[in-house]
A and B are shown apart, each in its own frame.
Chain A
Amino acid sequence: MSAARLRLFGHRVTIPAMIGFVIIAVNLIAALGAPWLSPFDQADVVCEAWDDPTAEHLLGCDNLGRDLLSRLLFGARMSIGLSLLITTLSFSIGIVTGFTAAIAKGWVDAALSRAVDLMLSMPSLIFAFVVLSVLGTEIPVLVITLACLDSTRVFRLSRALAMNIVALEYVEVAKLRGEGLWWIITREVLPAARAPLIAEFGLRFSFAFLFVAALSFLGLGIQPPNADWGSMVRDYRDMINLGITAPFWPAGAIAVLTIGVNFVVDWLLAIQSRGHGENA
């Protein structure tokens, strides 16, 4: 029962949330420690193609005779690192524009909101295709395109949050007192928006992560020789017919990390809707 009593942010951590935290921690360790943890380099050919798992190659080998476990660990680095970068960037853009729109109101808000509406009128995968078809699939292009696309959703949320908070009377009090815009944003608006934004970060991360993986899977994301989970699935997929399980390792890893993040987000959203402190 000690697990049930563990608390975070003053709330009890549920079992799915615990599982989620563990999954995230394991993945982060893998991503950060890939060069030290992995037995071989991601690009080294160390065995025959599709060798079965042995004590030396715990997960066996891939189509070119590279160690699967090592590639999986390095893949974590690429997939997770890139998604984090995209999410951070999209958050910075989205929050700044969203808060500005909510507080400035008027034509600034109208212009930004209509632009975002237009961007959101199309599935982002389709929009990404259009851009990538012209700009190619180098990593910086990928990161900036996806961050811009994703920031539209962050914009929507942070604008709505800020609008709600600005309408609260304690913000009115600050305005009446004559406080400046910066003070109002940092002292009155941000603290109240923090919790929903953290949950949103988790959601956006898992979205970006799946998105990058899907692009790589379609051959339009991260290009060889860099290992990443999406393109690993693509490289190994023909082996399904032969009963080789290799593609399921990276695909499974993608699913597990997303599930973990979603478990934590679900918990965060649940404690928010339950309000502060008591009987949580």
Chain B
Amino acid sequence: MSGSERVLSVEHLRVEARNDGGTTAVLVDDVSFTLDRGEVIGLIGESGAGKTTIGLACLGYTRNGCAIAGGSIVFRGRDILALSASERRALRGPGVAYIAQSAAASFNPAMTLFEQVCEIPVRHGIMSAEEARKVAIGLFRELDLPNPETFGNRYPHQVSGGQLQRAMAAMAMAARPDILVFDEPTTALDVTTQVEVLAAFRKLIKEHRTAAIYITHDLAVVAQIADSIMVLRHGKMVEHGEADQILQAPREEYTRRLVAERVSGHDFIDREGGDPPLLAIRDVVASYASLLRVIDGVSLEVRRGDTVAVVGESGSGKSTLARVITGLLPREEGDISFQGESLPPTLAQRTRDQKRRIQMIYQMPDVALNPHQTLLDIIGRPIDFYFGRSRADIRKRVLELLRMMDLPESFIDRKPGELSGGQKQRVGIARALAAEPDLIICDEVTSALDQLVGEEILRLLKRLQDELGIAYLFITHDLGVVKRIANKVTVMLKGKMVAGGETQTVFAPPFHPYTELLLSSVPEMRSDWLDEVLEKRRISS
């Protein structure tokens, strides 16, 4: 076992996509890196950076319509690109193995886990079915999967998301490959599950001294696992260096911005005033089809100028709470009052003015804007509807709102299809503001956006709050966002409120155990974070 054993070297890789029109788009341009045995490289970048394309290229695979147009990928001394199709196939699995983002979609629903995990060694003639089964059981045990002996008899839909993601690692490891390609393997998981899965992956790589390519958009995640990090943007290398160097002393401006986002703090202004709360929710209960309580006894208060965050993992009922406040889902018990006045439970019973005062901004700007209308129609309609202004006035006001959103005035006659994701989200904000509301409910407004774009949206919302004094109810799963922008927070778990109050109080000891679990599960941008968390949890359990 020598210290460094080169397993992969990628040089000047270029991948192109050819679309129907015959034009070509460059997905990956001039990317080079090397990988030694036991080494982990992190590929980081926003959507469209070409991370996945590079990962797949290392298996000699390109998606439909794409082709490797230049460079070389040398795996253990052989250029993958020069291999025949069947030689390349022989390499996939035993040589380089792939772990995809969504395990739920990547496992065949019609086959048991054993069948799928044993497939690589058996189909490539490396092991007999019996041996492969033993290896699989061993891997299940290593990955802390429950009942390793029988776990593999189950079908994919019979195990949880976190378990499935680990089972996929077992599937990739079954033939002891030289390289593992992890493609955003924890992105689809809740933060608390992410920690366990991440720890399992790291243990696996360490113990087998497997080289790995770890693809993610989250610097803090990659910091826990990678020796070196490559930052990519629009298919090009921005910066490549040791993990600690990238995190602590980034050389490029773009990297600096990526790193900076997480550390920037926020000073909370004490907004406590004597006026009655804008929105007061007391012991609200709601359910879908009267079966299960999705919201069970939630109370919170929003005052003028407040930013109140509602946090929780998937299934916590946080988005349902927004529907209850707006009246789309009538509450069954409890009360919601606005400026001291009780709001009727259903939308139909509310007055036009009550509707106007609470506006919403959504997670997916693509489906929140009607693609068949121009921005003038989209933003102008609330002005027309609530205030009945003249056409000229509406146009003037829409232009003003566009300026406020830092969008060019020429966009007024465009349709959403011509805008980028961040721009669309700004239009969504402008539409909410056009109604001149007192409260805006922001439902995961940054989670569908790239990190830096999301950051700009948050900054914009902050600025608007300072200028206009609007209150925000921020629904999110991202504790980083909460810490930075909210002065009050409500933590939800399975429809119930587990903690609530001033952010400083809730997020400081003594914690509610779930709040502590959530907080400690948010990856931090230093390489020893995961060790610390695991250490702490071992002691406490």
Direct A–B contact in the complex, CB atoms closer than 8 angstroms:
yes
| A positions within 8 Å CB-CB of B | 168-170, 172-173, 175-179, 187-188, 191-192, 276-277, 279-280
The reply to whether A176 and B367 form a contact with Cβ atoms under 8 Å apart is: no
The answer to whether B19 and A176 have CB atoms under 8 Å apart is no
Inter-chain contact A176/B431, CB cutoff 8 Å: no
Choose one: A173, A188, A191, A279; the contact of B431 (CB below 8 Å). A173
4 closest Cβ contacts across the A-B interface?
Answer: A191-B372, A169-B368, A170-B370, A279-B19
Known: A177-B381, A178-B352. A276 touches B417 (CB 8 A): yes
- Within 8 Å CB of A191, what residues of B? 370, 372-373
Contact between chains at B328 and A172 (CB < 8 Å): yes
Q: A169-B367, A279-B19, A279-B20 are in contact. Are A176 and B360 (CB under 8 A)?
A: yes
Complex: how many Å from CA A276 to CA B328? 31
Residue B138 at the chain A interface, CB threshold 8 Å: no
- Band of interface residues on B: 20 to 34
Q: Are B21 and A176 in contact (CB under 8 A)?
A: no
Residue contact A170 to B347, C-beta cutoff 8 Å: no
> Cβ of B355 and Cβ of A176 under 8 Å apart?
yes
B371/A192 in contact, CB under 8 A: yes
Which residue of B has the minimal Cβ distance to A188? B370
Q: Judge whether B367 and A177 touch: CB under 8 Å.
A: no
Q: Is B298 an interface residue (CB 8 A)?
A: no
* From A178, A276, A280, contact of B355 by CB (8 A): A178
A280 and B20 in contact, given A176-B347, A176-B360, A192-B372 (Cβ under 8 angstroms): yes
**Nearest CB to that of B362 among chain A residues?**
A169
Please name all residues of chain B whose beta carbon is closer than 8 Å to the beta carbon of A169 when the two chains form the complex: 362, 364, 367-368
Interfacial chain B residues near A188, Cβ < 8 Å: 370
Report if B232 contacts A (CB, 8 A).
Answer: no
B33 at the binding interface (Cβ < 8 Å): no
Asked whether any CB of chain A lies closer than 8 Å to the CB of B216, the reply is no
Is there an interface contact between A173 and B360, defined as CB atoms closer than 8 Å?
A: yes
Residues of B within 8 A of A170 (CB): 367-370
Residues of B within 8 A of A178 (CB): 347, 350, 352, 355, 385
Q: How far is the CA of A191 from the CA of B377 in the complex (A)?
A: 14
Q: Does B527 contact A (CB under 8 A)?
A: no
A179 touches B328 (CB 8 A): no
Select one of A168, A175, A192 contacting B347, CB under 8 A.
Answer: A175
Q: A173-B360, A178-B347, A188-B370 are in contact. List 6 more A-B contacts (CB 8 A).
A: A169-B367, A170-B368, A173-B368, A176-B355, A177-B381, A192-B372
Q: Give CA–CA (A178, B385) in the complex, Å.
A: 9
B435 near A177 with CB under 8 A, answer yes
Residue of A nearest to B428 (CB): A173
B326: interface (CB < 8 Å): yes
Q: A68 CA to B356 CA in the complex, in Å? A: 69
Complex contacts, B385 vs chain A, CB 8 Å? 177-179
Query: Shortest distance in angstroms between A173's beta carbon and chain B's nearest beta carbon?
Result: 7
Chain A positions within 8 Å of B326 at CB level: 176
Minimal Cβ-Cβ distance residue in B for A175? B347
Provide the bound-state CA to CA distance between A192 and B367, in Å: 12
The docked-state distance in angstroms from the alpha carbon of A5 to that of B372 is 25
Q: Is B501 an interface residue (CB 8 A)?
A: no
Interface: B382 (CB within 8 A): yes
Asked whether, in the complex, the Cβ of A176 is within 8 Å of the Cβ of B352, the reply is no
**Closest chain B residue to A167 by CB distance?**
B367
Smallest CB–CB gap between A13 and chain B, Å?
A: 14
A sample of 24 cross-chain residue pairs with beta-carbon separation below 8 angstroms, ordered by A number, consists of: A169-B362, A169-B368, A170-B368, A170-B369, A170-B370, A173-B362, A175-B328, A175-B347, A176-B326, A176-B328, A176-B347, A176-B355, A176-B359, A176-B360, A177-B355, A177-B356, A177-B382, A177-B435, A178-B352, A178-B355, A178-B385, A191-B372, A192-B370, A277-B417
